Amino acid sequence: MVKRRNPAILAPMKALLRLVVASLALLFAAPAVAQTRAEWDGVSRIVAIGDLHGDYDKFADMLRNAGLIDARNNWIGGATHLVQLGDVPDRGPQTRMILDLLMHLEPQARRAGGFVHPLIGNHEAMNMYGDLRYTHAGEYAAFATSRSARARDQYYRTYIRGLRAHPPADGLPTFDAAYRAHWDEEHPLGWVEHREAWSPRGRYGRWISQHDAVIRINDTLFLHGGLGPTFAATPRLTMDDAVRAALRGRPVQEYADILEHQQGPLWYRGLSQNPEAAETANLENVLRGQGVARVIVGHTKVTGTVLPRFNGRVLVADILVPRGHTDPHAFLIMENGAWTTIHRGQRVPVNASTPEAICAYLRQITALDNGAGPVAELTASQCAAPAVAH
């Protein structure tokens, strides 16, 4: 992971980056996506996959388990709607491969009567506005070419000119060999191309900023984080338009902070981690305000599988995988109104209408994990064994 830059350097970087992007002219073509709506009805099959964070192999395995792609990574899912809940980038090295696969599948699904919904998460937004704290070194390396050293040198010269023209408050640094070596360490080969590709005009930034953050399919709301009280009843199209505008550098005044608002669709964690008694009023406002029966989110790792909360009215699909445990590749499928978790390739119906049903569900997952791991721990803490009559 590349370390966060010194604040004295980071401050002028955002302005300078826009200049460099223009001067480098590293423009990539991105397919056009017609943005018309944020809701779909009458969908008989949905596949919902949570945060991927640069793990292409996991994503491809999930898609194959769901019957969405063939051995050549072409769409075979027919009219299925695939919802990827955001946070494709960061923490892993294969972000570019995942994005390319999504871009490859999107038009194929449409031609087959299906749909690919790559939702915008907080890490997509962070990559676009330049917060690279969690960017894996392999993500930069994926963009490196034989021309990367020259592109970086050109960026460095432009950057130094910008610093000289607008010195930081504590004065200019000494631009010697040690400074350049440290600067190169923070800007590995491929960094410049990565930043261009994630700009609003770049291949990935342009594509991402044409998509949604919040959608409704049938009676279910899908988004990355959740909605706090401030946004519970905000219309979906209003939120999506505000997110897209902010990503393109033209924020809507009323929602200028939507990309970082802690109650907004990219960041809110209350539906996933607040005590249910304290969060129920907000959830009911969300369900009523959005006209849905349930909410499916990623963003917050609670346990090692898809977790039903609030008697199944919230499904948390970001999966916790502690060190030393294998990833279960857990995700959701809805077929004809019934939700099922796929966990280690096995189907577990999401029967979650009562606390007892949720405990039965967790026990089935625990059995698939051989009685160990975070789901087993959650089950032990929340689902005491029933008393035995004597």
302-359 per-position pLDDT tens digit: 999 999 999 999 999 999 999 999 999 999 999 999 999 999 999 999 999 999 999 9
> Which pLDDT value is given to residue 89?
98
Q: What is the dihedral of CA 85, 106, 207, 188, to 10 degrees?
A: 80
> Which pLDDT value is given to residue 2?
42
Residues 6+ apart with CB under 8 A from 305: 319, 328, 330, 341, 343, 365, 375
Neighbours of 53 (CB within 10 A): 20
- Please give the sequence-ordered ranges of beta strands (E in DSSP) within 125-213, or none if there are none: none
Alpha-carbon span 133 to 142, nearest angstrom: 17
pTM of the model as a whole: 0.90
Report the alpha-carbon angle 226-232-238, nearest 5.
90
Alpha-carbon 78 to chain mean position: 24
User: What is the chain's alpha carbon radius of gyration, rounded to the nearest angstrom?
Assistant: 22
> Which pLDDT value is given to residue 384?
78
Alpha-carbon span 118 to 84, nearest angstrom: 5
Alpha-carbon span 12 to 95, nearest angstrom: 27
Do 200 and 249 contact (CB within 8 A), yes or no? yes
The token pair at 160 is 């130094």
> Which pLDDT value is given to residue 386?
57
Alpha-carbon span 125 to 131, nearest angstrom: 9
The token pair at 2 is 């590349």
The token pair at 156 is 């460095």
Alpha-carbon span 9 to 7, nearest angstrom: 5
The number of residues making up the chain comes to 390
Alpha-carbon span 336 to 231, nearest angstrom: 30
The token pair at 80 is 């299925």
- Which letter does DSSP use for residue 174 in this model? P
Start-to-end CA distance of the chain, whole Å, equals 58
> Which pLDDT value is given to residue 28?
38
Lookup result for tokens 């099922």? 340
pLDDT beneath 50, residues of the chain: 1-35, 387-390
Do 376 and 320 contact (CB within 8 A), yes or no? no
Element (H, E) at 13: helix 7-24
Report the alpha-carbon angle 120-89-27, nearest 5.
85
> Which pLDDT value is given to residue 385?
65
